[in-house]
């Protein structure tokens, strides 16, 4: 593969790697410095608290174990399929890199410890992590890309 598609795949791969590395490094630092349930104020309403999530987002489907691993692998395959069909779509590499990096970061936790390490605490919102932020941003960007392309006159420039 050469040309714009190859460049898009490379960029998505690099972003995926950066997200994965940042996520795993942050989780390791938090686990090395906090004990579960400990609260540390950071800035205003943002704090740190170490917790382990055995479910999907916000603890839903807790204890699903192998099922969540399979769901993540299938989700990664769907992300790859969608990207392969539209790799040169502007911004698609960013959404793909964020989604894949976040999914792989949380998958690594599930495989290693049967739970995802969460630590970012914002008020009454459930704790989350860098991978969750990347996944959320990737989904929002992907939706925006598809909505933009679906609007009449979107290709008229």
Catalytic residue numbers read 118, 132
Q: Are 95 and 141 in contact (CB under 8 A)?
A: yes
- Grouping H, G, I as helix, E, B as strand and the rest as coil, residue 90 is coil
Q: Are 5 and 84 in contact (CB under 8 A)?
A: no
Q: Are 121 and 48 in contact (CB under 8 A)?
A: yes
- Orientation angle between helical segments 66-85 and 4-33, nearest 10 degrees: 150
Q: Are 102 and 82 in contact (CB under 8 A)?
A: no
Q: Label residue 86 exposed, middle or buried (CB < 10 Å: 0-12, 13-18, 19+).
A: middle
């Amino acid at each position: 593969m050469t040309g714009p598609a190859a460049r898009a795949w490379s960029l998505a791969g690099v972003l995926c790697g950066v997200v994965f590395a940042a996520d795993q490094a942050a989780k390791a630092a938090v686990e090395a410095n906090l004990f579960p349930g400990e609260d540390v104020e950071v800035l205003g309403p943002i704090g740190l608290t170490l917790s382990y999530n055995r479910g999907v987002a916000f603890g839903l489907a807790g204890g699903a174990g192998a099922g969540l691993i399979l769901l993540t692998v299938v989700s990664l395959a769907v992300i790859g399929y969608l990207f392969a069909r539209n790799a040169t779509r502007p911004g698609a590499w960013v959404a793909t890199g964020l989604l894949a990096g976040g999914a792989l970061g949380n998958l690594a936790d599930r495989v290693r410890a049967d739970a995802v390490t969460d630590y970012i605490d914002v008020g009454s919102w459930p704790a989350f992590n860098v991978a969750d932020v990347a996944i959320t941003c990737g989904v929002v960007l992907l939706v925006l890309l598809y909505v933009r392309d679906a609007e009449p006159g979107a290709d008229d420039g």
